[in-house]
């Protein structure tokens, strides 16, 4: 019973850490956007896209395999530290090579993208590729040992250091008269500091536990790790490259319709720094849902427990929809008001149409993530990888066509995001349905899982927008928006309770420690 409670506590701490880190990340983006402006946010966003490609080798397939190896060694009563000692050098070597390559190629890559001023930000972010490699190795080790609190502590350290160092460096550089390019590099250095802090926290915890130092190396584990992680890494690398190319395509197509390099970076920064920042807020909760449901789905699928499998998936879809739909309807009905809560009204006016267009993705993207998570839990990782590559290719093509139309321009970016996410959701949902056929017919209609949360979310968002609009002149923009959101949230919570969208039984399915054979 104690072990079970420990697992539940660790999962809860990790989920809470995800939410807190998302909030800290948002607090990092808001002052940063106000400080360096849309141009600087464009440079910063391009640097993070390039960093994503550099870090994919040790951030995708290898940690998954290391977690499994560690879990198997622990289950057999062996020394888990020996596994980490046998493969950690691979993470560090690949991470160091990625960091060097990213730093050396920064001027060339930014020149090809047509945004040479972004090169300092890319260079400042390059060392983070090494620290992320170390962090992912240590995090995978602790996950394999089911010590989830260590990962939560590392997440918090990363978010705090990124916020403090990144915002502080950007503020000092801006105060001393440096331009947007250098100030964006200061912000990027904050990300590097955050990854260094996260790796340091995990390494110190390993040193205190003494789990690795006395361990003897196990031969052949490195080759096994590379062999098993190669397919996942290759797929993730392809998706990462497509994501980086997407930023390049957006900038190039903006230039094709008449924007110079500075104005193109500014428009791209408005999209990524303002609209996407607000859009990403709900994913803290939907990501936690996916993390909780994965063990339930995996255990139910492997044991052939169809009732529990359908129950877990239904509860996951309902929980995601309960978060995604009200957020999406608020994005669509009151985008300018939401952005104005955090940014200036001139920036809100430019970003509002982009946030409204992202409302489609606000529902489709988390549902696609749930379907992808379920497939991986059922041992079918190839479909999510293929869906990522295909949807990324679709997004590239859609951006090329839509943004290249002068009448659409940057509005083509959120439109393309919605189209690509629909493709990904379609592929993953079809694969899930195919796997579920072996367990019999569907146990609950789509109305309970999707339509009820959608109806409740629409009514709640409508109330929020109407109350915010009615109070705007009397109490001011920000206060009226907050009043509307609180009132709409109260209406939404009441509707959830009346309709029974989320019940105690379904919420209990997310308890990691609950016996899956029940």
Does residue 82 sit in helix, strand or coil?
Answer: helix
412-419 long-range contacts, Cβ below 8 Å, gap at least 24?
A: 412/253, 413/250, 413/271, 413/354, 414/271, 414/275, 414/354, 414/355, 414/357, 414/358, 414/361, 415/357, 417/358, 417/361, 417/365, 418/357, 418/358, 418/360, 418/361, 418/364, 419/394, 419/395
- How far CA 91 is from CA of 58, 135, 212, 376, 425, in Å, comes to 6, 9, 16, 23, 32
- Residue 43's pLDDT band (boundaries 50, 70, 90)? confident
Weakest mean pLDDT among 81-85, 212-216, 364-368: 212-216
Average pLDDT estimate for 110-121:
84
For the cut 90, the answer to whether the pLDDT of residue 460 exceeds it is yes
The residue written with tokens 């105690």 in the block is 504
What band does 459 get if pLDDT is binned at 50, 70 and 90? Answer: very high
Residue 98 to residue 119: CA distance in whole angstroms: 16
pLDDT level of residue 451 (50, 70, 90 thresholds): confident
For the chain, what is the mean pLDDT?
Answer: 79
Q: Whole-angstrom distance between the N-terminal and C-terminal Cα of the chain?
A: 15
Q: Find the mean pLDDT for residues 244-253.
A: 86
- The confidence score (pLDDT) of residue 10 equals 46
Q: Give CA–CA dist 486/484, Å, rounded.
A: 6
- DSSP state letters, 123-136: HHHTTHHHHHHHHH
Q: Do residues 322 and 502 touch, judged by C-beta distance below 8 A?
A: yes
pLDDT of residue 353: 93
CA-to-CA dists, residue 269 to 45, 110, 215, 291, angstroms: 7, 15, 48, 30
Report the range of poorest mean pLDDT among 64-73, 323-332, 461-470: 64-73
Supply the pLDDT for residue 510. Answer: 44
Share of the chain above pLDDT 90, in %: 23
What average pLDDT does range 122-148 have in this prediction? Answer: 83
Q: Identify which of 71, 496, 38, 11 has the alpha carbon closest to the alpha carbon of residue 271.
A: 38
Q: Report the pLDDT value the prediction gives residue 101, as an integer from 0 to 100.
A: 87
pLDDT at residue 139 tops 70: yes
Q: Do 57 and 229 form a contact (C-beta atoms < 8 A)?
A: no
333 within 8 A of 467, measured Cβ to Cβ: no
């Amino acid at each position: 019973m104690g072990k079970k409670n420990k697992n539940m506590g660790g999962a809860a701490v990790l989920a809470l850490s995800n939410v807190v880190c998302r909030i800290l990340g948002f607090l990092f983006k808001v002052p940063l956007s106000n400080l360096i402006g849309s141009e600087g946010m464009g440079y910063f966003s391009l640097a993070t896209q390039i960093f994503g490609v550099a870090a994919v080798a040790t951030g995708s397939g290898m940690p998954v395999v290391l977690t499994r190896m560690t879990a198997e060694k622990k289950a057999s009563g062996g020394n888990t530290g020996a596994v980490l000692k046998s493969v950690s050098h691979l993470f560090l070597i690949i991470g160091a090579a990625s960091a060097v390559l990213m730093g050396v190629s920064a001027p060339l890559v930014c020149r090809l993208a047509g945004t040479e001023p972004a090169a300092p930000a890319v260079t400042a972010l390059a060392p983070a590729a090494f620290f992320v490699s170390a962090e992912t190795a240590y995090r995978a080790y602790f996950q394999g040992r089911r010590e989830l609190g260590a990962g939560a502590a590392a997440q918090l350290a990363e978010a705090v250091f990124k916020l403090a160092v990144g915002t502080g460096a950007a503020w000092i550089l801006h105060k001393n008269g440096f331009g947007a390019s250098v100030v964006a590099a200061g912000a990027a250095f904050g990300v590097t500091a955050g990854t260094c802090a996260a790796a340091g926290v995990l390494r110190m915890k390993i040193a205190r536990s003494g789990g690795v130092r006395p361990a003897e190396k196990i031969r052949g584990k490195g080759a096994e790790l590379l062999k098993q992680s190669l397919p996942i890494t290759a797929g993730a690398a392809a998706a990462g490259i497509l994501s980086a190319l997407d930023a390049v395509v957006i900038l190039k197509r903006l230039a094709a319709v008449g924007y110079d390099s500075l104005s193109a970076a500014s428009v791209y920064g408005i999209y990524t720094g303002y609209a996407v920042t607000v859009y990403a807020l709900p994913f803290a909760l939907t990501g936690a849902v996916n993390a909780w449901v994965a063990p339930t789905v995996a255990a139910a699928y492997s044991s052939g427990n169809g009732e529990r499998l359908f129950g877990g998936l239904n509860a996951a879809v309902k929980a995601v929809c309960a978060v995604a739909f009200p957020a999406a309807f608020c994005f669509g009905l009151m985008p300018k008001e939401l952005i104005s809560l955090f940014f200036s009204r001139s920036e809100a006016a430019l970003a509002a149409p982009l946030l409204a267009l992202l409302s489609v993705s606000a529902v489709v993207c988390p549902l696609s993530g749930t379907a992808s998570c379920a497939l991986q839990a059922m041992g079918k990782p190839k479909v999510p990888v293929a869906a990522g590559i295909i949807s990324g290719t679709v997004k590239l093509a859609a951006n090329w066509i839509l943004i290249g139309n002068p009448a659409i321009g940057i509005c083509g970016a959120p439109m393309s995001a919605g189209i690509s996410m629909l493709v990904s959701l379609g592929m993953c949902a079809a694969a899930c349905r195919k796997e579920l056929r072996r367990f019999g017919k569907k146990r609950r209609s789509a109305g309970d899982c999707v339509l009820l949360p959608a109806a409740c979310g629409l009514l709640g968002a409508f109330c929020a927008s109407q109350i915010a609009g009615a109070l705007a002149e009397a109490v001011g923009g920000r206060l009226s928006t907050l009043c509307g959101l609180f009132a709409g949230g109260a209406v939404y919570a009441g509707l959830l309770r009346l309709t029974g969208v989320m019940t105690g039984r379904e919420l209990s399915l997310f308890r990691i420690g609950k016996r899956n054979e029940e």
